[in-house]
Chains A and B, each alone.
Chain A
Amino acid sequence: GNSVTQMEGPVTLSEEAFLTINCTYTATGYPSLFWYVQYPGEGLQLLLKATKADDKGSNKGFEATYRKETTSFHLEKGSVQVSDSAVYFCALRSNDYKLSFGAGTTVTVRA
């Protein structure tokens, strides 16, 4: 079946530091890959997505590249801000309609 494994947190960083959150997946077929973000007190929001191998999704300074050979979709940001403090979820959708989520990684950015 489909599954997503992402880096365990929590992750604590200083402002302007580099952020990487690892995500690997197991899926049948050719899944679409997503990163969702949940800010404190808010619902899940789509951060970025990639629908095929070698696609790069990007938004708000975050990037992730769909790597079929390593079944990975690592999230990166070059310079984090306090406002990036949130829980980040990697997710995949295979040939059906369901999203399968990772466990989430809590990121705290200190000023």
Chain B
Amino acid sequence: DTGVSQNPRHKITKRGQNVTFRCDPISEHNRLYWYRQTLGQGPEFLTYFQNEAQLEKSRLLSDRFSAERPKGSFSTLEIQRTEQGDSAMYLCASSPDNSPLHFGNGTRLTVT
């Protein structure tokens, strides 16, 4: 068990650019989640995969956001035409079925 791995750890980008984050869940965890955390707040749910199927997307996830989990293993979260309001910590978590979530260390995005 190597834990949930997220890359990159930090990303600084200019407004209007596209960014992509990667999450490698714990192997054999069929559930994968993306959350967003802003300063002074708890994590907010963005989206959820069971294997390769994306089963729910939060209304927080605008059309500029897209997430994929091809083959039910790693996942990517892409933000197009970034805005300053997208600056946050993006957290990935995984779990086997209904067990507690295991979180990665997150990717901190700064949009200038």
List A residues at the B interface (Cβ < 8 Å). 4, 34, 36, 42-46, 49, 89, 91, 97-104
Q: Which residues of A contact B85 (CB under 8 A)?
A: none
Whether A103 pairs with B40 at a CB distance below 8 angstroms is: yes
Chain B 46-89 near chain A by CB (<8 Å), digits 1 or 0: 00100000001000000000000000000000000000000000
Residue of B nearest to A8 (CB): B40
Whether B42 pairs with A104 at a CB distance below 8 angstroms is: yes
Smallest CB–CB gap between B50 and chain A, Å?
8
Whether A104 pairs with B103 at a CB distance below 8 angstroms is: no
Interface residues on chain B, number (Cβ under 8 Å): 22
Q: Which residues of B contact A99 (CB under 8 A)?
A: 33, 35, 43, 45, 101
**Which listed residue, B31, B41, B102, touches A97 by the CB 8 Å rule?**
B31
Is B98 positioned at the interface, with any CB of A under 8 Å from its CB? yes
Whether B106 pairs with A43 at a CB distance below 8 angstroms is: yes
**Which listed residue, B4, B40, B43, B100, touches A49 by the CB 8 Å rule?**
B100
Residue of A nearest to B45 (CB): A98
Query: Complex formed: what's the CA distance from A85 to B35 in Å?
Result: 23
Is B7 positioned at the interface, with any CB of A under 8 Å from its CB? no
Is B105 positioned at the interface, with any CB of A under 8 Å from its CB? yes
**Which of B31, B41, B104 gathers the greatest number of chain A CB atoms within 10 Å?**
B41
Whether B91 pairs with A43 at a CB distance below 8 angstroms is: yes
Q: Which residues of B contact A34 (CB under 8 A)?
A: 100
Q: Which residues of A contact B44 (CB under 8 A)?
A: 101
Smallest CB–CB gap between B37 and chain A, Å?
8
Residue of B nearest to A41 (CB): B105
Whether B42 pairs with A91 at a CB distance below 8 angstroms is: yes
Whether B48 pairs with A98 at a CB distance below 8 angstroms is: yes
**Which listed residue, A42, A97, A98, A102, touches B42 by the CB 8 Å rule?**
A102
Kindly list 13 other residue pairs between chains A and B, CB separation below 8 angstroms, not including A4-B42, A97-B98. Answer: A34-B100, A43-B91, A43-B104, A44-B43, A46-B100, A46-B101, A97-B31, A97-B48, A98-B33, A101-B42, A101-B43, A103-B40, A104-B40
